[in-house]
Amino acid sequence: MFSFIVRRIGSSIPTMLILILISFALMRLAPGSPFSSDRGLPPEVLANLELKYGLNLPWFEQLFVYLKGIIFDFDFGPSFKYTDKSVNDILAQGFPVTLTYGIWSFVAAVAVGLPLGIVAAVRHNTKLDYAAVGFSIGAQVLPNFVMAPILVIIFTLWLNWLPGGGWNGGQWQYVVMPILALSTSYMASIARITRSSMLEVLHANFIRTAKAKGVPMRNIILRHALKPALLPVISYLGPAFVYMITGSVIIDIYFSTGGMGQFFVDAALNRDYSLLMGVTIVFGVMTIVFNTLVDITYAWLDPKIRL
């Protein structure tokens, strides 16, 4: 276990380096500059800006200075667009927001999707099953940029139950709609995967034996079937979480949560190099950490796998 984690950390370093290199290179190759504007700037001002942000150095030196700042001072540099703020400030603002609704969405997706899938499998080919399958495919294909305005129309305009956007430090009223919009399609995917893997397990010989022995259905499911049935679900959770975080762009745009997703797109559009790199690195680390967690859980559930 311990050595697995050490190995994982070891392998994540080249991964991060490659990620940083790719995004750094892409960004610098992109046409346009962070300082371009409708009118353009006088050369003296431009030179000063380049000096301030270190853009006068050769690219490898820029990269080196940048990495050094992160590693030794945990400093992601100043933002190019938000001149009054540093990237650290923006990450400190956006990261907790994205993480909060991301984790709650994740929890909601698992907490609803898993039971739904299990019930559908146990009641295979009943109305309940059909309803669950219908819901999960429907929910999976409904884009959340359609769902978000519908949610606002219902809960804000008609019912006046929830504020139509904002974050307010994460008060629950502000978090409900982002979670709903973000989690639904993953809820559906999890339900579908759970159902099909549960069905498979329920047809397996050891379950048939247990049934024949007269073990109550409830016990069969909880004690015997659940664990093997969960494996494919677990392996889906890693990518699902990454997808959720990616989908957070839409949540941020519609619900003005001030999360990281929109900062990323915005940074890419504005050539805010340092902010873009900062967000990419944070998301990269999150992806790696989450995949590691998923692998550990997987190993814990499946004794055949050694870490």
Partner 1 sequence: MLVNKKKMAALIDSNAEQGQVKGRSQWQDAMRRFKGNKASLISVFVLAAMTLFAFLGPLLSPWDHETIDWELIGNAAEMGAPQFANGHFFGTDDLGRDMYSRVLQGTQISLMVGFVGTLVAVTVGVLYGAIAGYFGGAVDNVMMRFVDILMSIPYMFILIILFVMFGRSVYILFIGLGLFSWMDMARIVRGQTLTLKHKEFIEAAVMAGVSDFKIIVRHIVPNLLGIVVVYMSLMIPSLILLESFISFLGLGIQEPLTSWGALISDGASTIQYGTLWQLAFPLGFFVTGLFCFFFIGDGLRDAFDPKDR
Partner 2 sequence: MNKTSNMNISAFTLAMVTAGAVMSGATIAANHPVTGEKLASDQTFTYRLPDGIATLDPQLVATVEGSAIVRDLFEGLLNQDELGKIVPGVAQRFDFSEDKKTYTFHLRKSNWSNGDPVTAHDFVYAWQRAVDPATASPYVWYMEMMGIKNGKAILNEGMDPKELGVEAVDDYTFKVTLDAPIPYFPSMVTRATTFPTHRATVEKFGDEWTRPENIVSNGAFKLTDWTLKEKNVRERNTEYWNNRETILDKVTALVIDDENQALLRYKAGDLDKTEIPAGQYGSLKKSNPTEAYSFPRLCNYYYGFNLSDNGPEAFKDVRVRKALAYALDRNVIVKNVLKGGELPAYTFTPTATLGFKAPYIDYAKWPQKQRDAEAIKLLSEAGYSKSNPLKFEMLYNTSESHKKVATVISQMWKQKLGVQAVLVNQEWKTFLDSRTKQAFELTRGAFCGAYNEASAFLDLATSKANYNYGKWSNEEVDRLMEDAKTSADPNANYTRVETLMREEMPVIPVYFYAGTYMIQDSLKGWPTENIQQITYSRDFYKTAE
Give the tokens for residue 89: 């400030």
Burial of 259 (0-12, 13-18, 19+ CB in 10 A): buried
Segment contacting partner 2 by CB under 8 A, of 16-24, 123-131, 132-140, 246-254:
246-254
Give the Cα separation of 92 and 263 in Å (integer): 12
Give the tokens for residue 179: 């979670």
Residue 48 binds: one of partner 2, partner 1, none (C-beta under 5 to 8 A by kind): partner 2
SS3 content of the chain, % helix, strand, coil (to 5): 80, 0, 20
Segment contacting partner 2 by CB under 8 A, of 9-17, 75-83, 188-196, 237-245:
75-83
> Which CB sits closer to partner 1, 80 or 236?
236
Q: Which of residues 140-179 bind partner 1 (CB under 8 A)?
A: 140-143, 145-146, 149-150, 153
Q: Is 163 left (phi over 0), alpha (psi -120 to 50) or beta?
A: beta
Residue 93 carries which side chain, given as an amino acid letter? Answer: Q
> Which CB sits closer to partner 2, 37 or 125?
37
Interaction mask 80-119, partner 1, x per CB under 8 A: ----------------------------------------
State the nearest-atom distance from the C-beta of 143 to partner 1, in Å: 5
In this structure, the number of other CB atoms found within 10 A of the CB of residue 306 comes to 8
Among 29, 74, 84, 205, binds partner 2 (CB under 8 A): 84
- Contacts with partner 1 by CB under 8 A: the residue count is 55
Burial of 301 (0-12, 13-18, 19+ CB in 10 A): middle
By the 8 A CB rule, do 174 and 96 touch?
no
Q: Is 27 in the site for partner 1 (CB under 8 A)?
A: yes
Tell me the backbone φ, ψ of residue 256, rounded to 5 degrees.
45, 50
State the nearest-atom distance from the C-beta of 251 to partner 2, in Å: 11
DSSP H/E element including 288 = helix 273-301
Interaction mask 95-114, partner 2, x per CB under 8 A: ---------x----------
> Which CB sits closer to partner 2, 92 or 131?
92
> Which CB sits closer to partner 1, 51 or 305?
305
Report which of 230, 256, 231 is spatially closest to residue 175, judged by C-alpha positions.
256
At which residue do the structure tokens 């294909």 appear?
A: 141
Residue 29 binds: one of partner 2, partner 1, none (C-beta under 5 to 8 A by kind): partner 1
Secondary structure of residue 78 in the 3-state scheme: strand
Give the Cα separation of 226 and 117 in Å (integer): 11
Question: Who contacts 277 (Cβ-Cβ below 8 Å, separation ≥6)?
Answer: 20, 23, 24, 27, 66, 76, 87
Q: Which of residues 178-217 bind partner 2 (CB under 8 A)?
A: none
Name the site residues for partner 1 (rule: CB under 8 A): 11-12, 14-15, 18-19, 22-23, 26-27, 29-31, 137-138, 140-143, 145-146, 149-150, 153, 189, 193, 196-197, 200, 203, 231-232, 235-236, 239-240, 242-243, 245-247, 249-250, 264-265, 268-269, 276, 279-280, 283-284, 287-288, 291
Name the site residues for partner 2 (rule: CB under 8 A): 30-42, 44-45, 47-49, 52, 78, 81-86, 90, 93-94, 104, 148-149, 152-153, 156-157, 160, 163-167, 171-173, 252-254, 256-258, 262-263, 266, 269-271
